[in-house]
Structure 1
Amino acid sequence: METLRNGSAPRRDDQRLVEQALASALAAIDRNLAHFGEQFPAPSSVGGVYPAIGNDEWTNGFWTGMLWLAYEASGAPRYREAAERHVLGFHRRQAERHNVAHHDLGFLYSLSCVPAYQLTGSTVAAEAALGAARLLLERYQPRAGIIQAWGDLHDPEQAGRMIIDCNLNLPLLYWASNYSGEPAFRDAANRHIEAAARHIVRADGSTFHTFFFDPATGAPRHGKTHQGHADDSCWARGQAWGICGFPLVYRHNGDTRLLELSKVLANYYLNRLPDDGICYWDLVFTSGAEERDSSAAAIAACGLLELSSNLPLLDPLRNDYQDAALRMVRQLSTHYRGDDHTPGGGLLRHAVYHKPQRMGVDESCIWGDYFYLEALLRLSRNWASYW
């Protein structure tokens, strides 16, 4: 296991900084709520402004999740009312099977319908979340023990692919198992996280973005990247998904090995950050002119807070991880926050969606905005996770 190099301990954020950042975020959400109406922000901005889209993308749940976070932070009914209207659309989407042939159903429904049920007791939201979980379970490949990321389940050229992002889709399956009493959801999630731990994580604590299995036999084949710099590099957002996802799954299945694994990933990530603590888009870069990815930093900050909260009080790295998360949030709030007050603008600037395809490079990304807001909620109150 790679040890965490000790640098100078970051100064702790005081409550005033967090509250000021939260107030700024809520003001941006108000502008965007008026701007988008019943539509959603696209996955990434164009020229600093998110295009408006329908409920079509894998990322729509992040915006609804932000509305639920804003409701919890403020108690203002306008956020709840908007989110509840979204829930009706998410119910239709899974019922009509509209653009749901992928594993990102967790991102869509864990942040829209699960919190709706959690906060309001909505049976419509619970029905939608359970329906989405059933669609996700359809993508389970029992021979390999994985949830197939995307692609035709019956096409041998597409079948057998898992990606690190799916760690964050598994909580929907655990929720569904608890809600319905059906063990199949939990069993599939447990097998998938075992496969991710065994095959996605490399020996040095870095991660593959994607890993392939033989669809006929389930035998492991090889790892690759899809959005990273190279197959043998470490895509920063993928590493952040791992740091965040393994302890979130631990929350559901109690396997302490997932906490130890998240520590390995966290150490690798933290040891490859530039001086300000905000990662480049791939961790092969530690200096120079390559783009930073504020969205990966926001995910990693939430992951470090989740990891720290689950470690024993006497674990020597518990406070280090919390301090590192606080430092990231401080930097994001001070130097990466979108403060131009443009309707449709993001909470965070300088994110990267898909560098190899030149998509959303040095723009805002809606998941970065969500995780930044989630980090602020985690730091400002005793927040009950949606995941």
Structure 2
Amino acid sequence: MSAPLNHAAIEPLADSPARRRWAGRAAQVDHAALEGAIAHALAAIDRNLAHFGAGFPAPSSVASVYPAMGNVEWTNGFWTGMLWLAYELTGAPRYRDAADIHVRSFHTRQLARQNTNHHDLGFLYSLSCVAGHKLTGDPLAAEAAMGAARLLLERYQPRAGIIQAWGDLSDPAQSGRMIIDCNLNLPLLYWASEHSGEAAFRDAADTHIEAAARHIVRPDGSTFHTFFFDPASGRPLQGKTHQGHADDSCWARGQAWGISGFPLVYRHNGDTRLIALSKVLANYYLNRLPEDGVCHWDLVFTSGAEERDSSAAAIAACGLLELAKSLPLADPLRAEYERAALGTVLELSEGYANHDTQPGGGLLKHAVYHKPHGIGVDESCIWGDYFYLEALVRLTRTWEPYW
């Protein structure tokens, strides 16, 4: 395990306005501000719990309000994950009761294979059922998570060594696609391997993360959103984008998935090369931020009027904190990443938090779901809300990730 997974070069951190801003904020950490942000988030969760009942918010808001929906989208686990975080923060039974209802819905969903023909089963089941089993010991939650992990394992393509992102597995025209988002789906496979003792789950995850490291990360430390392989031979073909500005640009949320996903997989498989690679991605990301440290929706934009993506910034903050934990105290980048994460979260709480008390509103404004398709642009996105709350928990508590 000594040969590098990728020969991408790490950039030195630039002396940027954002970096200077973070250093000043870290020198005077306002713990009361962080606790106030948590209280504000919990109040919004309470409003939305009453509003959505046993249902779920849609992936992104419309005119700043999430439409209600059933358990059919790839994003539903983020809302349940927020309920589990709220339960951990407060111990209040209302959050556990609501999350338990969701767990039963997720159990039914995997049994019925309802909208499960994609790799985002990790997003769905790590934050709902794995979290529920870890926190309460609920055997039904574990059964649901194992069922979802088996569905995810079905998507493993052995010739390419990847989990196919989406599409009909029997259709060669849809085969051979991996995307960087899948880094966050792999922890479900590691959990399933540990829970069941079956090595196949771990082996697939190990092979996929190596393929992602070798092919999705470019030599300069940026990332492709999507990479294609020949489905018959497994030969690597080309990188492209699905949600970014261009095939050769760097979609901000994708870069954040990489920063976060490689260290989360390291937590399970201990491959230190993933930490070295995450540092490469982190420095590339941090060097391309506007002054307040909240990224544009694609990192090709470093200033100007293009939309910010608060959801990508929240994911990156969690990733930087996870990465920093994996670095020795003597590594100067550890403190840099901690300062950047703290500064990002404080900026989000002050400039991007939603202060409208209308039921159905998100925690964060100014996120982007799919800019090329015009979906959820400058709206709230439910994953941004989740990762913002996760970042606040990471900054204020000792917390064991659901991933």
TM-score after normalising by structure 2: 0.95
Residues 109 and 129 in structure 1, CA contact (< 8 A), matched pair in contact too: yes
Residues 244 and 300 in structure 1, CA contact (< 8 A), matched pair in contact too: yes
Report the equivalent of 1:299: 315
Residues 10 and 324 in structure 1, CA contact (< 8 A), matched pair in contact too: no
Is 1:189 matched up with 2:205? yes
Report the equivalent of 1:341: 357
Report the equivalent of 1:354: 370
Report the equivalent of 2:14: 5
Cα pair distance change 1:222/1:380, threshold 3 Å: same
Residue number among 86, 98, 101 corresponding to 2:114 in the alignment = 98
> How many Å separate the matches in 2 of 1:38 and 1:27?
18
> How many Å separate the matches in 1 of 2:394 and 2:11?
27
Report the equivalent of 2:99: 83
Residues 354 and 361 in structure 1, CA contact (< 8 A), matched pair in contact too: yes
RMSD over aligned CA atoms reads: 0.6
Structure 2 portions without partners, runs of 5+: 1-9
CA shift digits 1:320-352 (9 cap, x unpaired) = 000000000000000000011110000000000
2:361 alignment partner, SS class: coil
Is 1:70 matched up with 2:81? no
> How many Å separate the matches in 2 of 1:386 and 1:156?
34
> How many Å separate the matches in 2 of 1:118 and 1:23?
24
Is 1:118 matched up with 2:159? no
> How many Å separate the matches in 2 of 1:153 and 1:332?
40
Following TM superposition, by how much is the alpha carbon of 1:153 offset from its aligned partner in structure 2, in angstroms? 1.1
> How many Å separate the matches in 2 of 1:337 and 1:11?
18
How many residues align structurally? 387
Letter of the 2:269 partner, please give it. N
The farther-off stretch of 7-16 and 361-370 is: 7-16
Residues 55 and 89 in structure 1, CA contact (< 8 A), matched pair in contact too: yes
1:317 alignment partner, SS class: helix
Letter of the 1:353 partner, please give it. Y
TM-score after normalising by structure 1: 0.99
Q: State the identity %.
A: 77
> How many Å separate the matches in 2 of 1:98 and 1:336?
34
CA shift digits 1:75-98 (9 cap, x unpaired) = 111000000000000000001110
Following TM superposition, by how much is the alpha carbon of 1:4 offset from its aligned partner in structure 2, in angstroms? 1.3
Residue number among 229, 234, 241 corresponding to 2:250 in the alignment = 234
Report the equivalent of 1:364: 380
Letter of the 1:33 partner, please give it. L
The farther-off stretch of 243-252 and 153-162 is: 153-162
> How many Å separate the matches in 2 of 1:315 and 1:141?
38
Report the equivalent of 1:50: 66
Following TM superposition, by how much is the alpha carbon of 1:2 offset from its aligned partner in structure 2, in angstroms? 1.2
> How many Å separate the matches in 2 of 1:292 and 1:342?
23
CA shift digits 1:341-372 (9 cap, x unpaired) = 11000000000000000000000000000000
Letter of the 1:5 partner, please give it. A
Report the equivalent of 2:5: none
Is 1:260 matched up with 2:269? no
